[in-house]
Amino acid sequence: MVNLGDEFPNFEAETTVGKISFHDWLGDSWGILFSHPSDFTPVCTTELSRVAKLVPQFEERNVKPIALSCNSISSHLQWIDDIKSYGGLSIKNFPYPIIADESRDLAVLLGMLDPVEKDSDGLPLTCRSVFIIDSAKKLRLSILYPATTGRNFNEILRVIDSLLLTDKHKVATPVDWEKGGDCMVLPHIKSEEAKELFPKGFSSVIVPSGKAYIRITPQP
């Protein structure tokens, strides 16, 4: 189990682009590692195709995607043709690697195994985990979805935008925030300091408690 802020394990893995050592593969980039229950399943096919289309948006943010399931490389490679066909992707090379964790060692290490879903041999499938790892190799976000619910990768990009912004500025992003939207001054910042930090100003929302803790500022 890796907690937020922990260094993400530096594992070695067989992937559709050859063997990788995870930290070397990341280099100076951020990474999104996402697992899926199995190759040749409908929801997973929609997800991997969506991520392939979003690769330029991940690249813009200096984030490298990598997928994982417990199937073999040959299965992944055959499935990639279906993913490309489903998504109408006219590309020769699939734009991100898929890890083949046939031994399930990585899935166990990273707490990815689904307690309910089993493959045809009765072995546990991986659930839909999402890990976002920063350029210092620290885990910054972890979400677990059930097999029956496909992920929303727009939300993942939104979180990355929030992480990149809040790493740089002393703000937090409110509910349903989107890039460019108003932000919250961090609670521990004193108003005197906030005046210096946020030249565009900030306003406090008046609430019954009389406490000025909801302070809104334009996105720095």
Instruction: Say whether residue 182 binds ligand BEZ (CB under 6 A).
Output: no
Strand order in the sheet with 12-15: 18-21, 12-15, 98-100, 63-69, 30-35, 128-133, 139-145
Whichever of 148 and 152 has its CB closer to ligand BEZ, that residue is 148
Cα separation of 80 and 161, whole Å? Answer: 28
Q: Beta strand pairing status for 12-15 and 18-21? A: antiparallel
**In this structure, what token pair is assigned to residue 35?**
């697992």
Residue 199's alpha-carbon distances to 181, 203, 214, in angstroms, are 16, 12, 18
Tell whether residue 147 is a contact of ligand BEZ (CB under 6 A).
Answer: yes
Residues near ligand BEZ (CB under 6 A), total:
9
Tell me: does residue 75 bind ligand BEZ (CB under 6 A). Answer: no
Residue 104 C-beta: closest distance to ligand BEZ, Å: 16
Q: Is 117 in the site for ligand BEZ (CB under 6 A)?
A: yes
Q: With binding defined as CB under 6 A, does residue 152 bind ligand BEZ?
A: no
Q: Does 82 bind ligand BEZ (CB under 6 A)?
A: no
Residues at the site binding ligand BEZ, with contacts judged by CB under 6 A: 37-38, 41-44, 117, 147-148
